[in-house]
A and B are shown apart, each in its own frame.
Chain A
Amino acid sequence: MDKMPRWADVALIPFINLVLALAVSALVVLYIGESPVEALQVMIRGSVGSAYGWGFTLYYATNFIFTGLGVAVAFHARMFNIGGEGQAALGGLGVAMVSLYIPWPHWSLALLGATIGAAIFGAAWAAIPAYLQAKRGSHIVITTIMFNFIASALLVYLLVNVFRVPGNMAPETARFAEGARLPNAYDVAPWLGFSRSTPLNVSFFVAVAACIGVWLMIWRTRLGYEIRAYGFSEPGAVYAGINPVRIIMISMLVSGGLSGLMAINSVMGEAERLVIDPVQGAGFVGIAVALMGRSHPVGVFLAALLFGMLYQGGAELEFEMPAVSREMLLVIQALVILFTGALDNMVRTPVARVFLSLRRERA
């Protein structure tokens, strides 16, 4: 018998985790002398109370969907890929090169090209840690996090020495040409009330497609079957003739590729140039998103939406409540990550116990 019904596993526990995180956050807000209720209202209104807010919320969510899916795919193979940050940065490099050096006639073709470029660069960045893990047993957590630093340094070097436009002080590439700029939500659906400068763009649809694709791959293909089998039991996989090296490589390549795709949203869809830090922590948020979403694409989508709200709502809160500083917001976001990701079992065990005793009373 399972310990608890499925709905409790996928919905109730994340909800309790979130409430706990908000409760502790409320204490923090109280401590600085502001009203937690008001703060929550500001955050909700700011993130989903207007088309303007939705534009930012969904833009952030798009980033988190990509990095969250990346982490989730690796999780299915029991690989803890915390290199989303670096893989997404390299994805940005791929997007920039595709967008700058190829004269695209239309954005749709550019999007296709950028998608391929981002995925290849992100996957390539994951390939080295994956190879070291598969062949040499170097722990993937250590190597991927070190590759984040290398990616960051590499990007700085390239932006300063290779891509910087002569005469420009900022370490960033030139703005992409017209054919490589993605339509934003205003271009696609102006009647929804998005502003002309909303960051939400067509990459959101790519993210939704990626969710569906990941779901199909994990639960409908032989590759997904083998990845899950390997993730649950390596000796089992070897018994069944599933090659662990192959599974580690493929799952990490897919994972890195998905993280890399994040760049089409931030680099191509929003900034329209490659800047010095195109990822802005989304790689790490992806870990929390995958944990909270239980590595399921639907869960990842919902968790990404939640973190999008947190980001956008937090920015509004900072604006409307001057007492709430940037650091304070980081604390609140960190609390959500802590409760939904790291402290999951703290809630899970007691809830499972409650369900067991409920069931016994019924029996």
Chain B
Amino acid sequence: MAEPMKMRATVSGDVADVKVLMNHPMETGLRKDAKTGQLIPAHFINEVTATLNGKPVLAAQWGGGISKNPYLGFKVKGAKAGDKVVVSWKDNKGESNTAEATIS
């Protein structure tokens, strides 16, 4: 169901730069099916969390206004190469996915 996420974490100085690409349709619930004219039900990621070595660094709440196959970039100070970053998301249908990357 949930396809794997792409994730990359690099460090410059002591600031980690984390980039994540998620696979998700991000349906707002406002869009109509072109063929049937029926509304496509809302299906979007609404919660994203990130941890660095197990400590929470970023918690996000999203609406349907984030583009399809969302991209997220964030920076964390006090990180070093070898640290582990974990990003998880959860959508409005209760599906979820997690990816982890080691900072290089």
Asked if chains A and B come from one complex, the reply is no
B contact set with A: CB distance below 8 Å: none
